[in-house]
Amino acid sequence: MKVINFIIALVKFILYGEEVTQEEKNNRLNICNTCPFKHYNKCGKCGCYLDKKTSWSSESCPENKW
């Protein structure tokens, strides 16, 4: 299921998204770094790679933290 979530996120980004500023990405990553669901470089809730998920304007935190 997590792979499907990532594929959906990728398609949304390709169709509707753009990259956020580096400052916004850093803010999002800082929040992720304190999250108990973070598992190495992935979100444990949705399975997305945090480096990509935090840089895409079409994405949001599954825990509504950003």
Average pLDDT over residues 9-27: 91
Domain count, the chain: 1
Q: Does some domain include residue 57?
A: no
Range of the domain at 30: 1-38
Q: Does some domain include residue 59?
A: no
pTM for this structure?
Answer: 0.82
Q: Does some domain include residue 53?
A: no
Nearest to 66 by CA among 32, 42, 43, 34: 32
Region of poorest pLDDT, from 1-5, 18-22, 38-42, 47-51? 1-5
Q: What is the mean pLDDT of the chain?
A: 92
Cα atoms found within 13 Å of the Cα of residue 22, Cβ hemisphere only: 0
Q: Does some domain include residue 5?
A: yes
Please determine, for residue 13, whether its predicted confidence score (pLDDT) is greater than 90. Answer: no
Q: How many residues does the chain have?
A: 66
How far apart CA 49 and CA 51 sit, in angstroms, is: 6
Confidence at 47, pLDDT banded by 50, 70, 90: confident
Residue 15 φ then ψ, to 5°: -80, -40
